[in-house]
Chains A and B, each alone.
Chain A
Amino acid sequence: MTDISKDAIAPPRSFLSQDAIQVFYRLLAALLICAVLAVLSDSFLSLGNILNVLRQASLTFFIASGLTLVVLTAGLDLSVGANVALSACIAGTVIHKTGSPALGILTGLACGGIVGLLNGVMVTALRIPSFIATYGMLWVLNGLTYWYMAGETLHGFPAGFRQIGSGYLFGLPIPVYLLLVFLGIGTLFAQRTIWGQEIYAIGANPVAARLSGIPVARRLLLVYAVSGTMAGLASIIFLSRLNSAEADIGESLTLPAIAAVLIGGTSLFGGVGTVFGTFIGALILTLVLNGMNLLSVSANWQPLVTGIIVILAVWLDMKTRRRAQ
Chain B
Amino acid sequence: MREAAVVSQPNPLQRIPGVAIVLVLLIALFSTIAPGFLSVANLSNVLVQSTILTMLALPMTLIIMTEGLDLSMGAVLTLTSLCVAIVSLATHSMLLGLGAGLLVGAAFGFANGWLVAIVGIPPFVATLGTLGMAQGLSLIVSDGQSVVGIPHSVRDIYSATLLGVPVPIVMALVTYAAFHGLLYHTRFGTYIFALGGNREALRYAGLSPNRLLIAVYAIGGAMAGIAGLLMTARMNSGHPTAGLGLEFDAIAAVAVGGTSFERGNGWLLGTLLGVLSVGVLRNGLNLISLPSSVQVASVGVLVIVALFLDGLRSRA
Q: Do A and B bind each other?
A: yes
Residues of chain A at the chain B interface (Cβ within 8 Å) = 76, 78, 122, 126-129, 131-133, 135-147, 150, 247, 255, 258, 268, 298, 300-308, 310-311, 314-315, 318
By a CB distance below 8 angstroms, the chain A residues around B140 are 298, 300-301, 304
- CB under 8 Å from chain A, chain B span 84-126: 115, 119-122, 124-126
Contact for B303 among A131, A136, A301, A314, CB less than 8 A: A136
Query: Which residues of A have CB within 8 Å of B132?
Result: 255, 303-304, 306-308, 310
Q: Among A138, A310, A311, which residue has the most Cβ atoms of chain B within 10 A? A: A311
Q: Which residue of B lies closest to A132 (CB)?
A: B307
Could you jot down 27 A-B contacts, CB within 8 Å? A122-B304, A126-B308, A126-B311, A127-B311, A127-B315, A132-B69, A133-B304, A135-B248, A139-B248, A139-B300, A140-B304, A141-B297, A144-B293, A145-B293, A147-B293, A255-B128, A255-B132, A258-B125, A268-B122, A298-B139, A301-B136, A303-B139, A305-B136, A307-B134, A310-B128, A310-B129, A311-B130
Give the size category of B's interface with A.
35 or more
- Residues 280-316 of B at the A interface (beta carbon under 8 Å): 290-301, 303-304, 307-308, 311, 315
Asked whether B143 lies within 8 Å of A140 as measured between CB atoms, the reply is: no
B55 lies within 8 A of chain A by Cβ: no
Q: Are B291 and A128 touching (Cβ within 8 A)?
A: no
CA distance A135 to B127 in the complex (A): 13
Closest to A308 in B: B133
Which 8 A-B pairs rank lowest in CB-CB distance, beginning with the nearest? A304-B136, A307-B132, A143-B297, A146-B293, A300-B139, A140-B300, A303-B136, A143-B296
Contact A143 B295 (CB under 8 A): yes
Residues of A within 8 A of B248 (CB): 135, 139
Whether B293 contacts A142 by the Cβ 8 Å rule is: yes
Are A146 and B131 neighbours in the complex by a CB distance under 8 Å?
no
Contact B129 A304 (CB under 8 A): no
The reply to whether A303 and B133 contact each other, CB–CB distance below 8 Å, is yes
A78 to B128, CA, bound (A): 10
The majority secondary structure among interface residues of chain B is: helix
- Interface secondary structure of A, over-half rule: helix
B245 in the interface (beta carbon within 8 A): yes
Q: Is the CB of A139 within 8 A of B297?
A: yes
Collect the chain A residues with CB atoms within 8 Å of residue B129's CB. Answer: 307-308, 310-311, 314
Residues of B239-268 at the interface with A, using a CB-CB cut-off of 8 Å, are 245, 248, 251, 261
Any A CB within 8 A of the CB of B271: no
Query: What chain B residues lie within 8 Å of A318 (beta carbons)?
Result: 119-121
Minimum Cβ distance to chain B for residue A40 (Å):
21
Give the residues in chain B near A128, CB-CB below 8 Å.
304, 307-308, 311
User: B237 within 8 Å of A by Cβ?
Assistant: no
Q: Using Cβ atoms and an 8 Å threshold, which residues of chain A touch B295?
A: 143
Q: How many angstroms between the C-alpha atoms of A164 and B296 in the bound complex?
A: 33
17 other contacts beyond A126-B311, A135-B251, A308-B133, with CB at 8 A cut-off?
A128-B304, A133-B304, A135-B248, A137-B304, A139-B299, A143-B293, A146-B292, A147-B290, A258-B128, A301-B139, A302-B136, A303-B139, A304-B133, A307-B134, A310-B132, A311-B121, A318-B120
Chain A residue nearest to B144 (CB atoms) is: A300
| Interchain nearest-CB distance for B281 vs A (Å) | 12
Taking the nearest CB of chain B, how far is it from the CB of A223, in angstroms? 18
Partner of B126, one of A129, A146, A150, A314: A314
Q: Using Cβ atoms and an 8 Å threshold, which residues of chain B touch A132? A: 69, 124, 251, 261, 303, 307
